[in-house]
Amino acid sequence: MPATRPAPRLAVLAETELDEAQREFVRALRTGPRGPALELRGPFAAWIHAPRFGLLAQALGAHCRYHTGIPPRLSEFAILCTARFWRAQYEWHAHAAIAERAGVKPKTIAELRAGREPKSAAKDERAIYAFVRELYRTRRVSDRVFKRVRDLLGETATVELTGLLGYYAMVAMTLNVFRMLPPQDAPLAFAEPSGR
């Protein structure tokens, strides 16, 4: 029997209920690289309650996702590593299929989801994994791990990777705090903690 899903901690607003600041936030989302069909789900469903913050956050997110020097496959892989670390259901739901389309192998995605080191991953993905794991666990990155990623991506994209990880950690925290889950018909990637 599947566990009961916790209810969101914020009302999911209908677009007809939005004030001008909230409509401005939605316009910014839909006129940017995410496109006009974007639905107000996930972090956006939370940030609409603080639309000025949402405007800034979505702009950073659009840059992190669409305008860095990080190849899309490695960017999506890093996002999945973040989703797994935080057990952010919606983040995983939104990015697992994108990562696969970008070239991350299904076996690698399955290993990440299960919380295992992705030994089947490509060498460059394993370098990113080591960087992500070390940064999130120790809040630092060793010289050896840093050098591998810098040699792989270059200095600019290494700075961008660090920013991307910070952004998607913020997204994961938003999703977890406000219980923004995937749609009801989508399975949860991770067990939800009880009583929280």
Whole-number Å distance between alpha carbons of 136 and 31: 33
pLDDT at 132 over 70: yes
**Contact at 8 Å (CB) between 74 and 47?**
no
Whole-number Å distance between alpha carbons of 4 and 117: 29
3-state SS class at 5: coil
pTM of the model: 0.95
3-state SS class at 34: coil
Cβ-based burial of 88 (10 A; exposed 0-12, middle 13-18, buried ≥19): buried
pLDDT at 106 over 60: yes
Q: What are phi and psi of 182, to 5 degrees?
A: -60, 170
Q: Give the tens place of pLDDT for each residue, 14-29.
A: 999 999 999 999 999 9
pLDDT at 194 over 80: no
Q: What is the mean pLDDT of residues 88-115?
A: 97
Give the domains, in start order, of the chain with CATH numbers: 15-66 (no CATH), 72-177 (1.20.1290.10)
193/134: higher pLDDT: 134
Q: What is the mean pLDDT of residues 76-86?
A: 98
Whole-number Å distance between alpha carbons of 189 and 156: 33
pLDDT score of 196:
62
pLDDT at 2 over 80: no
pLDDT at 3 over 90: no
Q: What is the mean pLDDT of residues 90-98?
A: 97
Q: What is the mean pLDDT of residues 76-90?
A: 98
Measure the CA dihedral 138/102/190/159, to 10°: 20
DSSP codes, 81-118: HHHHHHT-HHHHHHHHHHHHHHT--HHHHHHHHTT---
pLDDT at 1 over 50: no
Cβ-based burial of 194 (10 A; exposed 0-12, middle 13-18, buried ≥19): exposed
Q: What is the mean pLDDT of residues 172-183?
A: 96
How many helices (DSSP H) and strands (DSSP E) are in the chain?
9, 0
pLDDT score of 5:
86
pLDDT score of 118:
96
pLDDT at 193 over 90: no
The distance of Cα 122 from the centroid of its chain, to the nearest Å, equals: 21
